[in-house]
Amino acid sequence: MNHAIKDIEDSFNKLPMAIYFAWGDTVARYRRSILGPLWLVLGTVIGTLGLGWLWGSLLKVDYATFFPSLTVGLVVWQLIASSIVEGSTAFIRSAILIRNVKTPYLIFPVQVLLRQLINFGHNLIVVVGVLIIFSSALSWVTLLFIPNLLLVLGNLLWMILLIGLLGARFRDMEQLIAAVMPILFFLSPVIYRPDQLGIKSAFIWLNPFSHMISLLRFPLQGSVPPTFVYVVMVSMLIVGWLISLWFLNRKYGRIAFWV
Amino acid sequence: MAYVNFNHVTVKYPIYNAKSMSLRNQLVRIGTGGRLSKETTDIINITALDDVSFELKKGDAIGLVGHNGAGKTTLLRTIAGIYTPESGNITSQGRVSTIIELGAGMDHELSGYENIFRMGMLLGATRSEMDSKMDEIAEFAELGDFLAVPVRTYSSGMLMRLMFAVGTSIEPEILLIDEMFSTGDANFQEKAHARMEALINAAEIFVFASHSPELIQRHCNRIFTLKHGKIIETNPF
């Protein structure tokens, strides 16, 4: 694990750079648009209103509980989906950089995650707005959101690393991810809640993203997530990191040739 | 003190074609027990450096010569630690600065100023260090108000000015430069050469790949000729 451990150390030292880069990427993306990053907020508002109205009428549910649940679901889903989709090009995107400057590799997944976190921060405005409008039951339990978010981010980071490495070696990865994500959207409890599925809800829990969404949705709706969600997420964190660091370590010398 | 040691270093450069890059062919290969390997995975391995040993120490200025594809850039990247050798080992110490490919590490939507921070941080400087060097870099690059506009509007000569100004401003101990002086006007080339001389005189390690005998003569005190992955050292005088 020598290479991987050294990489973590070097990446940690370069964290200020990753933050600067992620911020720069976001600024660059919205530089010539009038609304700038507000487009993120607007996009989420439009999405929530549209989907909320459509699914609300289709499922004939109570808007006061459905809207907050859907908003949180959509915002968290966006964090997960864009992390995974952008993760597949985490290293390819920086190919010129990797081939020219000696940089620790973990910095690139960190950059992807930070970019998504910046977007997530913007989207949280919508979540807060919706929670206020529907005067949801906020309590001290809501503070669980912060440690839970860290647990989700920790899991997303190893996923981005692993998918990014595979994506650098196999260029089909990007297409594969793009093809799989839409169906995973419906297999994740974004629009519905797992308990609404009754007996079939067991299948939903096979999807790791279901756990991530629940971990963040429960506290925002004033309740503690089920214990098994924590068990799954913590185990996933440990096993996932071990696998992806093992892979990084094994292929360390090849990455510069792959990109 | 900066040094670079190559001990029987072999670098194999794998070239992945579209087929070997595809997941489907890897799956087919597993599915067929690897018997179709010849058709499904064509990873061509090119031996770019073949059992190379040398030692660079303080004050060395190496001129790398060799025809196109001889492995000059691969050698520079291996010295920088970007490429890992297949066998042999490399020990080195010193702050490395690389000027290999035009536009590396730049975001073309961001301004020249922002890119100076980016590149400086990539090369290991902190933000405040870059802040204090900003005036000097801006003056050396002579880009004036262009530093405030996005880098995508720059010509290749201007990109080179910016890269060179940043790459040399962080006071590297090991400076690796690939042939890129064809861009940039005569005036800037003269300035760049003066600065390179200053760096070399500050007794750092300098490796310079070039096709121009005059430039090699001017800046280098050792000459490495690359041929079929082997290095032959010739006397510069």
> Does B76 have pLDDT greater than 90?
yes
Q: Does A251 touch chain B (CB under 8 A)?
A: no
A191 DSSP assignment: S
Closest approach of A50 to chain B, Cα-based (Å): 33
By Cβ distance, the residue of B23, B109, B123 closest to A172 is B23
Q: Does B138 touch chain A (CB under 8 A)?
A: no
| Residue B183 burial by Cβ neighbours in a 10 Å radius (0-12, 13-18, 19+) | middle
Instruction: Tell me the C-alpha to C-alpha distance, in Å, between residue A13 and each of A6, A7, A53, A107, B126.
Output: 11, 10, 47, 10, 10
Average pLDDT, chain B: 83
Q: Coil, strand or helix: which one is A104? A: coil
Closest approach of B237 to chain A, Cα-based (Å): 32
Q: Which pLDDT value is given to residue A74?
A: 93
Closest approach of B214 to chain A, Cα-based (Å): 26
Query: B-chain residues within 8 Å CB-CB of A97?
Result: 104-105, 122
The sheet with strand B96-99 has its strands ordered as: B96-99, B174-177, B205-209, B61-65, B222-227, B230-234
Tokens, residue A181: 């994500």
Q: CA–CA separation, B80 vs B66, rounded Å?
A: 19
Q: CA–CA separation, B210 vs A113, rounded Å?
A: 40
Q: Do A172 and B105 touch (CB under 8 A)?
A: no
| Residues, chain B | 237
Q: Coil, strand or helix: which one is A99? A: helix
Q: Which pLDDT value is given to residue B211?
A: 85
By Cβ distance, the residue of B22, B81, B117 closest to A172 is B22
Confidence band (pLDDT; 50, 70, 90) for B9? very high
Q: CA–CA separation, A68 vs A52, rounded Å?
A: 10
Give pLDDT < 70 ranges for chain A.
136-137
Instruction: State the Cα angle at A243 between B31 and B82, rounded to 5°.
Output: 95
Query: B-chain residues within 8 Å CB-CB of A249?
Result: none
Query: B-chain residues within 8 Å CB-CB of A25?
Result: 107
Q: CA–CA separation, B83 vs A234, rounded Å?
A: 35
Instruction: Tell me the C-alpha to C-alpha distance, in Å, between residue A151 and each of A89, A90, A212, A249, B57.
Output: 23, 21, 9, 23, 48
Instruction: Determine contact, residues A84/A102, Cβ cutoff 8 Å.
Output: no
> Does B237 have pLDDT greater than 70?
no
Instruction: Determine contact, residues B10/B49, Cβ cutoff 8 Å.
Output: yes
Tell me the per-residue pLDDT of A33-65, one tens digit each, with 9 for 90 and over: 888 778 888 988 998 899 888 888 888 888 888
Question: Integer distance in angstroms from the first to the last C-alpha of chain B?
Answer: 27
Tell me the per-residue pLDDT of B132-168, one tens digit each, with 9 for 90 and over: 999 999 988 888 899 999 999 998 888 888 988 888 8
Closest approach of A213 to chain B, Cα-based (Å): 30
Closest approach of B118 to chain A, Cα-based (Å): 7
Q: Does A169 touch chain B (CB under 8 A)?
A: yes
Confidence band (pLDDT; 50, 70, 90) for B37? very low
Q: CA–CA separation, A49 vs A184, rounded Å?
A: 21
Closest approach of B170 to chain A, Cα-based (Å): 14
Nearest residue in A to B86, CA atom: A253
| Residue B193 burial by Cβ neighbours in a 10 Å radius (0-12, 13-18, 19+) | middle
Q: CA–CA separation, B100 vs B167, rounded Å?
A: 10
Q: Does A181 touch chain B (CB under 8 A)?
A: no
Mean pLDDT, residues B190-198 taken together:
81
Q: Does B128 touch chain A (CB under 8 A)?
A: no
DSSP letter string, A8-45: HHHHHHTHHHHHHHHHHHHHHHHTT-SSTTHHHHHHHH
Q: CA–CA separation, A46 vs B218, rounded Å?
A: 64
Q: Does B13 touch chain A (CB under 8 A)?
A: yes
Q: B96 forms bridges with which residues in the sheet? A: B174
By Cβ distance, the residue of A16, A28, A258 closest to B127 is A16
Tell me the per-residue pLDDT of B92-121, one tens digit each, with 9 for 90 and over: 998 888 888 887 888 888 899 999 999 988
By Cβ distance, the residue of B83, B109, B118 closest to A256 is B83
Query: A-chain residues within 8 Å CB-CB of B82?
Result: 98-102, 256
> Does B22 have pLDDT greater than 90?
no
Which residues 17-36 in chain A show a CB within 8 A of chain B? 17, 20-21, 24-25, 27-29, 31
B125-B181-B199-B127 Cα dihedral, nearest 10 degrees: -10
Q: Does B1 touch chain A (CB under 8 A)?
A: no
> Does B78 have pLDDT greater than 70?
yes
DSSP letter string, chain B: --EEEEEEEEEEEEEE-TTTT-HHHHHHHHHTTTTTHHHH--EEEEEEEEEEEEEEETT-EEEEE-STTSSHHHHHHHHHTSSPPSEEEEEEES-EEEE-STTTT--TTSBHHHHHHHHHHHTT--HHHHHHHHHHHHHHHT-GGGGGSBGGG--HHHHHHHHHHHHHHT--SEEEE-S-TTSS-HHHHHHHHHHHHHHHHTT-EEEEE-S-HHHHHHH-SEEEEEETTEEEEE---
Q: CA–CA separation, A46 vs B215, rounded Å?
A: 61
Closest approach of A126 to chain B, Cα-based (Å): 28
Instruction: Tell me the C-alpha to C-alpha distance, in Å, between residue A3 and each of A101, A215, A250, B84.
Output: 17, 33, 8, 11
Q: Which pLDDT value is given to residue A39?
A: 85
Pick left, alpha or beta for residue B94 (phi over 0 → left; psi -120 to 50 → alpha; otherwise beta). left
Q: Which pLDDT value is given to residue B20?
A: 63
Q: Do B104 and A101 touch (CB under 8 A)?
A: yes
Neighbours of A113 (CB within 10 A): 25
> Does B33 have pLDDT greater than 70?
no
By Cβ distance, the residue of B83, B103, B107 closest to A24 is B107
Q: Does B129 touch chain A (CB under 8 A)?
A: no
Q: Which pLDDT value is given to residue B141?
A: 87
Q: Which pLDDT value is given to residue B112?
A: 92
